[in-house]
Amino acid sequence: MPGMSSGLSTNNPTIVSAFRSLLGHQALIAVVLLALLALAWNLLRAVQLRRAGNALLPIEARTPPEAAGRRLLRLAFGLIWIFDGLLQAQASMPLGMTGQVIEPTAATSPVWVQHIVNAGATIWSNHPITAPASAVWIQVGLGIWLIVAPRGYWSRLAGLATGLWGIIVWIFGESFGGIFAPALTWAFGAPGAVVFYSLAGLLIALPERMWSSRRLGRAILSVMGLFFVGMAVLQAWPGRGFWQGRLGHNAAPGTLAGMVKQMSATPQPAFISSWLAGFASFDAAHGWAVNLFLVISLAAIGIAFLAGRASVARVAVYAGIVLCVADWVLIEDFGFFGGVGTDPNSMIPISLLFVGGYVAMTRVPAVAGAQVWDTPAAGGDWSFWARLASRPAYALRSIAALAAIGITLIGAVPMAGASLNPNADPIIAEAVDGPPAVVNSPAPAFGLVDQNGTAVSLQNLRGKAVAVTFLDPVCVSDCPLIAQELRQADGLLGSAARRVAFVAVVANPVYRAGAYLLAFDRQEGLEQLSNWHFLTGSSSELNQVWRSFGIEVAFAPGGAMIAHSDLAYVIDPAGRIRYVLDSNPGPGTEASKSSFAMLLANELRAVLGS
């Protein structure tokens, strides 16, 4: 799937170092932000002390306690969001997320899902430093926001923000939770963990008066009941490989046993791997019985939730917790091992939702004689600034919520910028080939003819920035990729391209005639560039240019292609070499190609500016 990966190893030191450095810088910004808000709190407290005789009562004196079910969801999902954000800070996340998480999840979904997911994955693979660092701060900020804002509009806005972010992650990070994949099953985490995060966030975003009756709790349990019954039907559906411990005549593991066996190979503590391997063997031997147990359990729990009776629901809650924990340990493998785990998978959020629904149904806050939080007291000053200046608890919660929003924005603003920037970060090219060598020496003179028979020399290009590289016109591996990088660099320069010349010297002593050069140009779309020159000359002229630029040329075994040095030189308008780049295309992915193009364009702009 194009755009899904940069093709680099997940432990590439250049990427890992840059990722950690960015996280460190952003952490300093967060510390400065917190210090400024602490100062603001102290100033507000001084104002409040001067207004101590104000008639307005502290807001807690006229409001009921937060509903227990709402508080459970808010605090629990706040902690999970923080945990997920910390998982995003793992060193393998910048380069492992697309290739090891997003791509395998999307691969089994329909093509239209892959196209949608690819749009988000391309942002990550093109910006492997910015995107994962942004995810860290967005999720940590959202989690803190949920925890520090227990009441009122700050709290509801936090719920809405987590709900919307969860939907984005569900679509682009989980491929719609795999609901369009053929092996959809509750046991593997369907319909995706983050959809339950979003549901919890939207519940928190509801007006608090809706939590003051048992109806909301019953509604949550009814929705979860329908979900469990639907998953039971799906688990029982024949032909999906869940009823068999082994498949076919070759005795390959069944769908569930195969999945668990695969999970047992994830890097993790040995005793956990042994648990999974043991369960995989048990399911392979007793697949029909295991699936029957799952079907009956899911259906029974779902029906109990739908019954709407507290005594029945209580038993179902206990059974549901046991079932979810067992699945979380023995099938989902906790969800966060292996270095690229992004969350604890779906069983924990599923459990929290039905427990929250049960608590909301059975523990309704008393509201008699109390002012509902969302409604101003009669005759009271309900303006934001009045509450901020006169109510210490409200001011503290507001300052804390602003701090959490600030932390979220530390990630959200760069993420928005990355999503609008279609060009890959130059750090990818540097991770492939190393950073450009900075030099300042006279460029070797040359005088050759281009693909159109026009004489071209370094002297007559004086006044322009020049990118010089070496290409084999009959090459079918690296040279076409390098040509596309040059064409992209020209497009990235925009109007500045008029002051730049792209020059390639033929690197094949046999296939050096103009006809080969023109054919290569047509193949790669280079004939459309007015500032493109593909140069050739006699064998002696070419040998002299190769030697002067340090290019090694040798026949490749068994063919017409030539093995040659992959180097690009950036020459300033005064005719001096300022940068030398290794132009080896490496993995040749969309991300690495556009990254080199961006790096080259940046260096050309730099010499034009100088």
pLDDT in tens, 481-509: 999 999 999 999 999 999 999 999 999 99
Whether pLDDT at 453 is above 70: yes
Complete DSSP assignment for 34-102: HHHHHHHHHHHHHHHHHTTT-SPPPGGGGSPPPPHHHHHHHHHHHHHHHHHHHHTTSTTHHHHIIIIII
What mean pLDDT comes out for the span 416-442?
Answer: 95
Tokens standing for 78? Answer: 């706040």
Q: Alpha-carbon distance 485 to 587, whole Å?
A: 13
pLDDT top residue among 244 and 318: 318
What angle, rounded to 10 degrees, do the helices at 287-307 and 310-330 form?
A: 150
The structural domains of the chain, with segments of one domain joined by +, span 20-52+66-209+380-422, 213-343, 427-609
pLDDT in tens, 321-357: 999 999 999 999 999 988 889 999 999 999 999 999 9
Whether pLDDT at 246 is above 90: no
pLDDT in tens, 250-288: 678 888 898 898 888 888 999 999 999 999 999 999 999
Fold of 427-609: Glutaredoxin (3.40.30)
pLDDT top residue among 3 and 408: 408
Q: Alpha-carbon distance 589 to 576, whole Å?
A: 32
What mean pLDDT comes out for the span 300-317?
Answer: 96
Q: What is the pLDDT of residue 371?
A: 44
Q: What is the pLDDT of residue 388?
A: 54
pLDDT bin (cut points 50, 70, 90) of residue 159 is very high
Q: What is the pLDDT of residue 554?
A: 87
What mean pLDDT comes out for the span 145-168?
Answer: 94
Alpha helices (runs of H) in 252-391, residue ranges in sequence order:
255-264, 270-285, 287-307, 310-330, 347-362, 384-390
Complete DSSP assignment for 423-474: SPPTHHHHHHH-SPEEEEEEPPP-EEE-TTS-EEETGGGTTSEEEEEEE-TT
3-state SS assignment for residue 585 = coil
pLDDT bin (cut points 50, 70, 90) of residue 596 is very high
Highest mean pLDDT among 17-26, 374-383, 393-402, 557-566: 17-26
Kindly report the backbone phi and psi dihedral angles of residue 270, in degrees, each rounded to the nearest multiple of 5, phi listed first.
Answer: -60, -35
| Residue 449: strand pairing partners | 455, 536
Whether pLDDT at 382 is above 80: no
Q: What is the pLDDT of residue 398?
A: 82
Q: Alpha-carbon distance 310 to 304, whole Å?
A: 10
10 Å Cβ neighbour count for 474? 16
pLDDT in tens, 403-425: 999 999 999 999 999 999 989 99
Whether pLDDT at 532 is above 90: yes
Q: What is the pLDDT of residue 369?
A: 40
Q: What is the pLDDT of residue 249?
A: 60
Q: What is the pLDDT of residue 152?
A: 85
